[in-house]
Structure 1
Amino acid sequence: MSMFGKVEFDEACKELDEPQIEDYEFFTESHDVRIYRLYNDQSGLYTYKIYGFMKDVEPDICAQVYMDLEYRKTWDTYAKELREVQEGDKEGIYWQVNYPSYLFMSNRDYVYMRQYRVIEKDGKTIHCVLTRSEPFGNEPERSGVIRVDDYLSYSALTSDGQGGTKAFMKYYDNPKGNIPTMLINWAAKTGVPGFLSQMQTACKGYPKYLQSKQTT
């Protein structure tokens, strides 16, 4: 069962060489990452577009690491619970995110559908991962955890031509609750570059992780 069409995959691929940022404002730049944002009048939050590079990591490895839930639990310190879920012929992901204790805020959790495609375009191989929140009847909301039910991300990865990865991500979620704008801005400015840095390290360690699984 799929909830994404060709148009959405094409949209993600196009962003790698032709950033669609006419309506977006520049937000921040850190190392090899530039972030733009678009205000959402209904929620008072922002949709983000992230453009960046991960050096010395090939895009196919990045895609494998992004898709490997078990491996992510070993390197993503904010992933409290992460697993596949199924309801009939509908398959998805359950993800609970740890909020640091010093924030005195409830954890958030997500239930979403995810689709991965490898697309050949203009002589390039592009790895695309699209996700969007989707209710699953067998994954009800939990006491003490806030369910994020308005979430999407589009990601596209391709070679930078120098042994690294050129990456794009479009991201939006509504975490609900009375979260200060200052905190949301801080998370966007530091969290995204920090996650990409973590992922880059995880990609470099992925072959060793796979080897360790084969020997156990």
Structure 2
Amino acid sequence: FRDEEFADACLEINNPVLNKWEFFSESYNKDIKVFKSSQDSNSFAFKLYGKIDTPPNICAEAVLDLDYRKKWDPYLKEVNVISTTSFKACYWLTTLPFPISNRDFVFVQEMRELVYNNKHYWVILSKVDDSLNRLVPNKKGVLRVSSSSQTIALTSDGNTGCRAFCHYSEVPGTKIPTWFLNWAAKKGVPSFLDKICLACANY
């Protein structure tokens, strides 16, 4: 990952860029807002901005702890670290409501703790790496995602919690039905955001 990618995440947590993005959903307590890209119908892209009542370093540790993730994420079926040579490389299998296919990812991930413009940040970057597919054979009935990336940035809110930014994008490889997006906006996303906040608080 390039230094500029980490710097860009630090910039956006303070200056949201929402041109050509539309409101999609929010947490039940309305502390976290989610926006969906209105540009490319072939991709699946979201941005999240909000506040979590847990310090940023604890949130970062909770995100990176894959064994802990298995305990609280209802959509995570399998996750394994498959390489730690240059970057941490992981295999991730997620389940979604029927009839959406189960999906898996082989991705690399890097976390940096940095000071940018005199402020402390924790930034986690992840992206699918097709060159690692050879390490994990395709599974029957599971869609291998070939293009996906995620940026997470965390910084103190000035008190005991943190401000958070996340940008997730994916080329799903199949059409996402409207009913699924409606379900996600009304129930799936708010419920999952609450689970994330609770997981950070309990870490």
User: TM-score scaled to structure 2, two decimals?
Assistant: 0.88
Structure 2 residue aligned with 1:51, among 38, 49, 52?
Answer: 49
Distance 2:96 2:83 in 1: 26
3-state DSSP class of the match of 1:161? coil
1:90 CA drift (Å): 5.8
| C-alpha displacement of 1:162 | 2.0
Structure 1 alignment gaps of length 5 or more: 207-216
Paired positions, count = 199
State the alpha-carbon separation in 2 of the partners of residues 89 and 147 from structure 1.
23
Q: Is the 8 A contact 1:39 1:45 kept in 2?
A: no
Partner of 1:113: 108
Residue 20 of structure 2 aligns to a residue in which SS? Answer: coil
**In the alignment, what sits opposite 1:62?**
59
Query: Are the equivalent residues in 2 in contact too, given 1:92–1:113 (CA < 8 A)?
Result: yes
| Structure 2 CA distance for partners of 1:61 and 1:105, relative to 1, 3 Å | same
1:163 to 150, 160, 165: 160
| Structure 1: distance between partners of 2:3 and 2:51 | 25
Contact kept? 1:40, 1:46, Cα under 8 Å: no
Kept in 1, the 8 Å contact 2:145–2:172? The answer is yes
Decide whether aligned partners of structure 1 residues 9 and 145 sit closer, same or farther in structure 2, where only a CA change above 3 A counts: same
* Distance (Å, rounded) in 1 between the aligned partners of 2:103 and 2:35: 24
- Cα gap change, 1:130 to 1:119, in 2 (>3 Å): same
Which residue identity is paired with 2:181? I
1:128 corresponds to 2:131? no
Separation (CA, whole Å) in 2 of partners of 1:89 and 1:17: 30
What secondary structure does 2:135 align onto? coil
Identity %, equivalent residues: 38
Q: Deviations over 1:104-140 (max 9, x none)?
A: 3331111111110001123321100011111211112
TM-score of the superposed pair, with normalisation by structure 1: 0.83
Structure of greater Rg? 1
SS at match of 1:82: strand
- Distance of 1:138 and 1:166 partners within structure 2: 36
Once the two structures are overlaid, the 10-residue window that deviates more, 16-25 or 165-174, is 16-25
Shift in alpha-carbon separation, 1:93–1:40, aligned structure 2, 3 A: farther
Are 2:160 and 1:174 equivalent residues in the alignment?
Answer: no
1:177 aligns to what SS in structure 2? coil
Matched residue SS, 2:181: helix
1:191–1:119 distance in 2 versus 1, CA, 3 Å: farther
Which residue pairs with 2:33 in the alignment?
34
Please tell me whether the aligned partners of residues 25 and 185 of structure 2 are also in contact (alpha carbons under 8 angstroms).
Answer: no
Separation of aligned partners in 2, 1:123 and 1:189: 38
| Runs of at least 5 residues in structure 2 that lack an aligned partner in the other structure | none
> Could you tell me whether the CA contact under 8 Å between 1:39 and 1:46 is conserved in 2?
no
Equivalent-residue separation in structure 2 for 1:185 and 1:73 (angstroms): 26
Greater relative contact order (CA < 8 Å, ≥ 6 in sequence): 2
CA contact (8 A) 2:91 2:106 kept: yes
Aligned Cα RMSD in Å? 2.0
Q: Could you list the per-position Cα deviations for residues 58-106 of structure 1 after superposition, in whole angstroms to 9, with x for gaps in the alignment? A: 1100000000001110111111101101287564110000223xx2333
Instruction: Indicate if the aligned counterparts of 1:40 and 1:47 stay in contact, CA closer than 8 A.
Output: no
